[in-house]
Amino acid sequence: MEKIGFIGLGIMGKPMSKNLIKAGYKLVVLDLNLRAVEELAALGAEVASTPREVAADCSIIITMLPDSPQVKEVALGNNGIIEGIKTGCVFIDMSSISPIVSREIAARLEEKGVEMLDAPVSGGEPKAIDGTLSVMVGGEKEIFDKAFPILKAMAASVVHTGSIGAGNVTKLANQIIVAINIAAMSEALVMATKAGVEPELVYKAIRGGLAGSTVLDAKAPLVMDRKFNPGFRIKLHIKDLNNALTTAHEIGVPLPLTAAVMEIMQALKVDGMSENDHGSLIRYYEKLAKTEVKR
């Protein structure tokens, strides 16, 4: 079986790479966090010291990194993937980055005869662990079909959304909807609590109707249990909304609701909550209303 390179073993990347090993794939891994690398090595993964080394040893290379600058550096920088990758190999970036940067990297790799897919994911750490992520993929359909079994080993849903960059455009759309949903949930539950109605009963009453959503089911119970440890950090959602606003403005699309939620997240960052889960949006509203949503 062909070797897969996996660069980026963070909150998402580590469980994703473990699921690839469980599915029988041979991995070569790389990360700055040596403890994460050792954990994968104990499961049978080989270890590389540079992205170039990973690329030279693998026919498919996956990256799962924080943002555009890191992906660009790993792909195109000194000792980067581009220096080791061979013609006919495939680069799959599963990070959530700017679609403009995805297209830029793809154009450079194409000069070396290398195909690229941008394949960001949704679902957070729990779905990364149990292998039920949603993956939205941009790139050539033929390459998507080739990579599909690998992506499916980490996900419940893998959808081809168009040419290169389309995956990240889709992810930005996803992140807009998630952010605004959490904000709406927060406003509603804070209002209900301040009005003297049990938030858990409100949640149970509305979840089966039109207001029900995956976001509501994922976040309301955690909020009421006061669990704000990160499934998806505020600082990463800020990054995604920044990419969404930049991309939208470049093509002439105003995003007033997205901008409002971005400013709420910025306020939480100032309050020292950037490492907390994005469900912490409710704490902004709680502070304004001087109340706390809990069971």
* Alpha carbon distance 21, 100 (integer Å): 32
CA angle 126, 61, 138 (to 5 degrees): 70
The rounded distance, in Å, linking the Cα atoms of 61 and 230 is 27
Which residue(s) pair with 118 in the sheet?
A: 93, 138
Phi, psi of 273 (to 5 degrees): -110, 15
Active-site residue 112, yes or no? no
- Measured N-to-C along each axis, helices 234-250 and 166-194 cross at an angle, to the nearest 10 degrees, of 120
CA distance 165 to 118: 6
CA distance 133 to 123: 5
**Structural contact between residues 14 and 40, judged by C-beta atoms closer than 8 angstroms:** yes
Rounded Cα distance, 170 and 162, in Å = 10
Do the Cβ atoms of 123 and 175 come closer than 8 Å?
Answer: no
Q: What angle do CA 284, 285, 286 make, to 5 degrees?
A: 90
Residue of 14, 171, 219, 239 marked active site: 171
Place of tokens 């080989």: 46
Per-residue tokens: 30: 């790389």
Name 252's Cβ contacts closer than 8 Å, sequence gap at least 6.
none
Written as six digits, the tokens of 2 are 């062909």
Q: Which residues are catalytic?
A: 171
